[in-house]
Amino acid sequence: MIGDPGAAPGVTRLLTIAGSDSGGGAGIQADLKTFAAHGGYGMSAITAVTAQNTLGVRGVAALDPRFVEAQIDAVLEDLGVDAIKVGMLAGRPLVLAVVGRLARVRGDGATPIVVDPVMIAASGDPLLADDAVEAVRDHLLPLATLITPNLPEAERLSGRTAGSLAGREDLARRLGELAPAVLLKGGHAAGDPMIDLLWDGERLHPFRHPRLATRATHGTGCTLSAAIAARLGRGERLLEAVGGAIDWLHQAIARAAPLGLGSGPVDPLWKLRLADCLA
Half-sphere exposure of 177 (CA within 13 A, CB side): 7
Q: Which residues are catalytic?
A: 185, 217, 219-222
The rounded distance, in Å, linking the Cα atoms of 105 and 84 is: 9
- Alpha-carbon span 279 to 267, nearest angstrom: 19
d(CA 135, CA 147): 15
